[in-house]
Structures are given as structure tokens and as C-alpha cells.
Chains A and B, each alone.
Chain A
Amino acid sequence: MNIPVKTWRFHGGVHPADGKALSNSVPAQRAPLLERYTVALQQNIGAPPKPIVAKGDVVKKGQLIAEAGGFVSAPIHAPTSGTVGDTVEVPGANGGTIPAIEIIADGKDEWGSGLEPIPNWKNTDREILKKRIAEAGIVGMGGAAFPTHVKLSPPPEKGIDTLILNGAECEPYLTADHRLMLERTEAVLEGAAIAAKILRVDRIFLGIEENKPDAIAALREKAGAYGVTVVPLHVRYPQGGEKQLIYALTGRSVATGGLPMDVGCVVQNVGSCAAIRDAVVEGHPLIERYTTVTGTPVVNPGTWILRLGTTVEQALTFAGGVKERAAKVIMGGPMMGFAQTSLGVTITKNSSGILLLQWKETSGYTSNPCIRCGRCVRACPMKLLPGPVSVMVESENYDEAERNYVMDCMECGVCTYVCPAKRPLVQHFRRAKAEINAKRRAAKAKQA
């Protein structure tokens, strides 16, 4: 399908040096089986899953070890066959600690998920497919980790007419989705077709940044068979932001505080689509994912197929360790990822990358005053006023910040990237959002 599709240009954005050349030509490698996996028990947004195995239990690869803790929750499965070990605490990628279950591998790596393959999904009931996706524990693998089956159950009055596949991968350095689209092209497209069947839509766009010509070519070759339109997009961060992507592909803008389904769209990450296909066609739950291990200090940067529960330390060992002193270890990309203080963090369903940066490459923040240059205002994809709002937050004037729509900030980091005074703007906004949310909760508690 080579028909040019009209695209729209969102406000602002930046084009950072993308660093993708480090790893985008390296085929993804399957990581060797480890002796022990530490599977974190909170890998999705929403209710934490409840563990259903005890120490000493024997589990098969893909067997359920924690069931969903509610509708907005996703179950967790054993990454390999073996015995259940201790329940330990691991550092979470975005702070704090989370409980985790150790799985000690027996080396046989035997499947036993108990999920029957549904190769003939075209003639299968939508509800069965949706249930399968929920059972397979699939979440948004781009970063937010929102359970996929919830996304695929929009209220009928929303009138969903478009399924958007997010293959933009606008974060610099990350190439996991790129490799995935190149190597598992049909899996992505078939998963998208399954999702489209569940949603009853026939308009499927795949938004992909133009810096992945090989993936675009591969996708285009096969997309027609699945009814997917591949739309190359400008290379501009944050092209893969949900609201920006919808706007770029359909010209619809999601209202502040609204959701994509308000404008008739559902956005799925390409990784989630491949996982949907695996869950339905193969009966395999989500136990591994494409993760980029990259950065200039890494000896062999590349994309790895890592099982959930692999620690960052092990993943870095696969990649040969570091050749230069790394100042930062980041889970995710350089724009929105989280800096880590320990290597004990584990790979979860939304770990798109492990990025190491040298000191000279990272940002050093200062407490310099805002010089009102207005670059952040020009660059903000949400059309906010980052500079002035950060000054309001600095003087703890959260009401004023709220009136200036700080809650619409999606923390994409564009403002901070362009700030010549190197002010930690995103941190200010996170602080403001946390304070305002706390205030709202307090107000709500008072009302109740």
C-alpha cells in the first residue's frame, strides 16, 4: 500500500541526535537462558497482580504465577520452567521497591501455559479473543504498560473508527520496535488485524518515523494483506506521543484531559501487536520482549529478546559490559526514561530499552534563572508555557501553575532538552503535578 496519506504537523517538537545507528542494524539476539529470573509483581498500570504460587512450587514456562488483581490489571507468567524461589524486593524502574518472585530455572525451558492456540482467529468470537489477550497479560509495551484488553474494550458510544499502530519509536537510541517491525513484520500486522477485528474497525494506520526506511519497506510489502496503511512520518520527537500521533495521522486533537477514544481512535504499540498475535495464534503469554541495550559506553550495543525478570546487570553482561565509564543507566529512552541507581532493576513488560550515557553526553542541570528565551514555548508539543510555569512552581504557586495547564504536561522533556539555561523543567512539572494531585485527593477526601 503506497498511497500517500495526508498527515498533519503537530506544534513544536525537537529532533535530538538520535543515536540509533549504534544498534539499528544489529539483528535482535535471543538471550541465553539464565539460572534464575526475578519477576517483578507489578508490571502494569492499575491494580497489582496477586501471586498464586508459593515457594517450592514447580512451574512450566508460561504458567500463570500471578493473576490479575482487577479489570485494569494484567496477569504475570513464568519466564521459564523451574521452581519458585523466594519472594524478594527489587528496585522499581521508576523508584521505590516492588515485590518480586524468583524463578529458578531447571534448564528444560518447557512450555506449559495452558492457553490453546487459536490459529483460526478470523472465525472466532471477539470476546474469546479479548479474553485471551487479557489472560496472556499483554500491556502497552511502549512505556505506559496500560493493560491492552482494557484499551480494546472502549464503550460502544465512543464510535471507534481507527486503530493506530505506534511504530514511531521517536525516542533517540531505542531500536527495539524498529528491529521488531523488521524481523517480525507479519506478527505485528497479524496482531493489528486481530485488534482491529476486536474493535470492529477497518481503518488501520501504522505510524512510523521516516528514519526506518528498511522497516517501512518491509511493512509496506505485506501490509496490504492485513488492511494496514503504513504512514511514514517526519522524524520529530515526540512523534510517538499518543496525542501527537493521533493528530499527525488523523488531524484530530484529543481534548485536554481526554482520551484517544474520545476522538474515535485506539493506539497500540507495535510490540503489543506482536504479543497479541503470539497469544492468539501460538497460545504464548507475554514472557519476553525486544529490548535495546545501547549507549556509547556499551561494548556490543544491540537489541535483545529478553525474558521478563532478567536484571539490568545480566542484560548488560549479554551486551559485553561497558568499555567506558557510564554516568547514567537509564531504563527507557533518553527523553522520558528513568535514571537508575542500581543494576538490580528487572526487565518488565514495558522495558523498551536500557541506555547507558557517558557524563559528557548527559544533561547537567543547574539552578540558573529562566532567561525567558521562549524556546520551550516554541518546542512544547502540548502548547504550554514551560518556562513561566516552572518559575511559578519554583515560587510554589501551584494554583497559578494549574491555571496554566501544567496538568496537561506529558513530561516528554522537549522543553528541558532545548533550555539553554539548563533548568530542570520536567522535574518542576512533576513536582507541581504531584502537589496538585495531592491537593485534589485531599479535597475529594474532604467532600466524601
Chain B
Amino acid sequence: MLITILVSAGVVAAVGLVLGALIGFTAKKFEVETDPKIEAVQELLPGANCGGCGYAGCADFASAIVTKDTDPSGCSACSDAMLAKIAEVTGKAAGKKEKMTAVVFCSGSFSRSTQAADYNGILDCRSASIVAGAGGKACRFGCLGYGSCARACPFGAIEIRDGLAVVHPELCRACGKCVNVCPRKLIRLVPASAKIHVYCNSLEKPAKRRKLCKNPCLACKKCIRTDENHMQMQAGLVRVNYSNPPEPGFVEQVKCPTGALQLEEMHRKIEALKPAAPAPKKEESK
């Protein structure tokens, strides 16, 4: 009995030794260098693969951070705590970043804008925009309302309310996907500290804007006259000066005749009564 145990133990051990040696040999012979830091950084990144950093995905960005000294703050979806941890791994100081958020510069929901036609086709902004006349709304500059941005958002921060895209700033991580997908170029990333926006993007003749929408910016410049430091003209549009945004009380002060200049909160209250649930990500991890 003892012999059986000894022999089998010996044989198994010998086999193990031989194979182990073989593995060791091949591992040495065909070694491939990898940096464990890359994996560590990748673990810390959000894993949404949103592409907001300009790289193909989180894995790509991680290797860029480690090998090419890219600034990890390029990831807009990372919290500051995460950035600090990444800096710990790489041993490099993380850059500071200002929290940004996306804003859809339009207030023309279906009920508040004039309809030019009855659109019958694919319910997607980018598909609708290639049909002559583009969607049902008469305004050539406004939100089409078919939700391409909402589908593109990896964080579920955009909601379509009555044919108008509305951003929930608390969910938005400013990855910029919606900016690129909007065929009307309505969405911009602005500092999240700004709470007031001019919700209109129309370059139509001001007289015509009134016919197309209930809340157009008529470019009367009342707001600019009220405070030139906070408001400005940008490429024919009245815009908040985002390097020096006004305080929330500014809306009361100006009393915009059409309501295009609006508090973000109010704008959302009118359009979005219920917040969108964040889209579940990371399906099937294992």
C-alpha cells in the first residue's frame, strides 16, 4: 500500500516537474513584454468605452496613459478620485479639469414648434436629416426630436420629451458622443457651472423665427444690454459667455421676452418631468 502511494506520488511529481520545466523553458524562450500598469489603469477607467477621450476604447486609452504619457483627465467620465488613483499607479500627477456638461440649444418641442409636414420614415435624426425637408418641424435649425443623441449617450443622460432632447446634467459625463451625432449640430459641451442657457440655435431671419417656434431667440439683445460681460453674440447667435457665466438670478433680471434665455432647471422642468433612468452598461461581464 505504502509503495503504491509512494510510487504514484513519485510519478505524479516527476511528471509535474518535467512539464513544469517545459513550461518554464517555453515561457522564457517566447516571452512577450507587457506592462502590468496598463491593466491596472484599465481596471480603474470606467469601462464605458464611450470614446470621449479620442481613443478607440478604455483599453486603448489605458495603454496611451501608460506608454504615451497621455493625461488621464482626458477621460471625462472619470471622477476625480479615480484620476487620483490612476495617478498613483502611473506615478504622474493628474491634470485638473473643469466639469463640463452637454446642452441642447433648442426649446422647440413638438407642441412648441410649428409643424411643416407629416414625416413618415425612420425615426432617427440622422436618417431624417437626409430626407428633403428633414423631419416634421418647420425650423431648419432646431432639434429633430428623433433621439439619435439619446441612443448615442452611453450614460443615459439624454431624454426625449415631446420631441425635444433634454440633457440631465447630473448624469452627463461630457464624453461628447451626442455632439458628434447630432445632424443639426445643436449640442455643445459647456462648463457645468453655467446654469443659464439661450435655448435657440436658429439662424433664420428673426421675423420668421416667431412663426416657427414659441420660444425662439429673436436676437433682440435685451440680455446683452443688461450685462455685456455675461452675454455675447457668437456667429450670429446670442449665447451665454461661458468663460464668465451669469448667476441664476440673471433670468429674472433680464426677463427674456420669448423665454429662450432660461434656467437649465426650469427648461428641464417644462420639458422633462421625470428623469431618465441611467442605461445599464457592461452587459455580460463573465
- Residues 116-158 of chain B, each 1 if its beta carbon lies under 8 Å from chain A, else 0: 1100111110110011111000101000000000000000000
Check A435–B132 contact: CB distance below 8 A: no
Q: Which one of B116, B117, B132, B133 has the highest number of Cβ atoms from chain A below 10 Å of its Cβ?
A: B132
Check B117–A341 contact: CB distance below 8 A: yes
Q: A431 on the interface (CB 8 Å rule)?
A: yes
**Contact partner, B132, options A338, A365, A367, A428, Cβ 8 Å:** A338
- Tell me the A395-438 residues at the B interface (CB within 8 Å): 424, 427-428, 430-431, 434-435
Instruction: Given A427-B127, A428-B127, A431-B127, verify A364-B133 contact (CB < 8 Å).
Output: no
Q: Which residues of A contact B124 (CB under 8 A)?
A: 431
The closest CB in chain A to the CB of B118 belongs to A327
Q: A340 on the interface (CB 8 Å rule)?
A: yes
Q: Which residues of B contact A96 (CB under 8 A)?
A: 132, 140
Q: A317 on the interface (CB 8 Å rule)?
A: no
Check B133–A427 contact: CB distance below 8 A: no
Check A364–B126 contact: CB distance below 8 A: no
B21 to chain A, nearest CB (A): 47
Check B121–A341 contact: CB distance below 8 A: no
A270 to chain B, nearest CB (A): 26
Check A427–B131 contact: CB distance below 8 A: yes
Check A93–B126 contact: CB distance below 8 A: no
Q: A2 on the interface (CB 8 Å rule)?
A: no
By the criterion of a CB under 8 Å from any partner CB, how many residues of chain A are at the interface? 22
Q: A29 on the interface (CB 8 Å rule)?
A: no
Q: A339 on the interface (CB 8 Å rule)?
A: yes
Check B123–A339 contact: CB distance below 8 A: no
The closest CB in chain B to the CB of A359 belongs to B118
Q: A358 on the interface (CB 8 Å rule)?
A: no
Check B132–A431 contact: CB distance below 8 A: no
**Contact partner, A435, options B116, B120, B126, B133, Cβ 8 Å:** B126
Instruction: Given A342-B116, A427-B122, verify A94-B127 contact (CB < 8 Å).
Output: no
Q: Which one of B121, B123, B126 has the highest number of Cβ atoms from chain A below 10 Å of its Cβ?
A: B121
Q: Which residues of B contact A430 (CB under 8 A)?
A: 127, 130-131
Q: A95 on the interface (CB 8 Å rule)?
A: yes
Check A367–B133 contact: CB distance below 8 A: no
CA of A435 to CA of B126, assembled, Å: 9
CA of A62 to CA of B140, assembled, Å: 34
The closest CB in chain B to the CB of A366 belongs to B120
Check B122–A94 contact: CB distance below 8 A: no
B122 to chain A, nearest CB (A): 5
Instruction: Given A427-B127, A431-B126, A431-B127, verify A364-B120 contact (CB < 8 Å).
Output: yes
B201 to chain A, nearest CB (A): 16
Q: Which residues of A contact B138 (CB under 8 A)?
A: 341
Q: Which residues of A contact B116 (CB under 8 A)?
A: 341-342
B27 to chain A, nearest CB (A): 38
CA of A91 to CA of B122, assembled, Å: 23
Ordered by A's residue number, 28 sampled pairs between the chains whose C-beta atoms are within 8 Å are A93-B132, A95-B131, A95-B132, A96-B132, A96-B140, A97-B140, A338-B132, A339-B131, A339-B132, A340-B132, A341-B133, A365-B120, A367-B122, A367-B123, A424-B122, A427-B121, A427-B127, A427-B130, A427-B131, A428-B122, A428-B127, A430-B127, A430-B130, A430-B131, A431-B122, A431-B130, A434-B130, A435-B126
Interface residues of A (CB under 8 A from B): 91-97, 338-342, 364-365, 367, 424, 427-428, 430-431, 434-435
A-B CB proximity, top 9 nearest: A95-B132, A341-B117, A341-B133, A338-B132, A341-B116, A431-B127, A94-B132, A430-B130, A424-B121
Beyond known contacts A95-B132, A97-B140, A339-B131: 5 more, CB 8 A cutoff: A339-B133, A427-B121, A430-B131, A431-B122, A431-B124
